[in-house]
Chain A
Amino acid sequence: GQQVMQIPQYQHVQEGEDFTTYCNSSTTLSNIQWYKQRPGGHPVFLIQLVKSGEVKKQKRLTFQFGEAKKNSSLHITATQTTDVGTYFCADSGSARQLTFGSGTQLTVLP
């Protein structure tokens, strides 16, 4: 079945440093969504990418969808302690389910 792989599994950065997490699929993705889960919290929707090569920005967050629609990335510029959490990508091609990656847990050291 469809598998979505995410790397790295963990990332520790100093506050102010940049952070990137990568999402890769063995098959072409229709759409991809990104979620953030704070420690002890629940996943919260960040964005959805639909088009090949699409780039979307939300303040310090930049989301990209690969040209072949098999990979995606989330880049955070100048991390802050409020960015702490686990970032998940999810294949959202089916209305009936989201297939989540295993997530990247971000720790920001003050």
Chain B
Amino acid sequence: DTGVSQNPRHKITKRGQNVTFRCDPISEHNRLYWYRQTLGQGPEFLTYFQNEAQLEKSRLLSDRFSAERPKGSFSTLEIQRTEQGDSAMYLCASSLPGTGSPNTEAFFGQGTRLTVV
């Protein structure tokens, strides 16, 4: 089963350090999403890629966050100068292309749990 893969699964970092997470989507999925989830909350949208193009970015996303998907396959999410408030589960999801409505289902990875100390 080649589902969505995320690395690392856990990351503990000191405040002020930079961290980078990787997501490998399901191979034929051209849509890739990053979400952030904190305890007791639903996933919160961060950014969206269609192939290599970053088409949507949450207005809540600080400029310390940057994401790339250089070849339209794997993606990386970097957080610079981490803060304690960045502690959360970072989820990646991918989906097949859909034409118009309805949207297609999203397949989520296991997530990367970030703890900023």
Nearest opposing residue in chain B for A6, CB measure:
B42
**Given A42-B110, A43-B108, are A96 and B55 also a contact pair (CB < 8 Å)?**
yes
Residue B2 interfacial (CB < 8 Å): no
Whether A48 lies near B41 (C-beta < 8 A) is no
State A49–B93 Cα separation when bound (angstroms).
Answer: 20
Consensus secondary structure, chain B interface: loop
Number of A interface residues at 8 Å Cβ cutoff, please give it: 27
**Which of B20-28, B67-75, B77-85, B98-106 is near enough to bind chain A?**
B98-106
* Pair count A-B, CB < 8 A: 66
Residue A33 interfacial (CB < 8 Å): yes
Whether B105 lies near A33 (C-beta < 8 A) is yes
**Given A98-B45, A100-B43, A103-B42, are A50 and B108 also a contact pair (CB < 8 Å)?**
no
- Contacts of A50 on B, CB cut-off 8 Å? 101-102
State A50–B82 Cα separation when bound (angstroms).
Answer: 40
- Contacts of A78 on B, CB cut-off 8 Å? none
State A42–B43 Cα separation when bound (angstroms).
Answer: 10
Contact with B along A72-109 (1 / 0, CB 8 A): 00000000000000001010111111111111010000
Whether B48 lies near A44 (C-beta < 8 A) is no
Chain A proximity of B2: nearest CB distance (Å): 15
Residue A26 interfacial (CB < 8 Å): no
Chain B proximity of A95: nearest CB distance (Å): 5
Q: A42-B111, A98-B103 are in contact. List 13 more A-B contacts (CB 8 A).
A: A30-B101, A31-B101, A33-B105, A44-B108, A48-B102, A48-B105, A50-B102, A88-B42, A95-B31, A98-B43, A100-B42, A100-B44, A105-B40
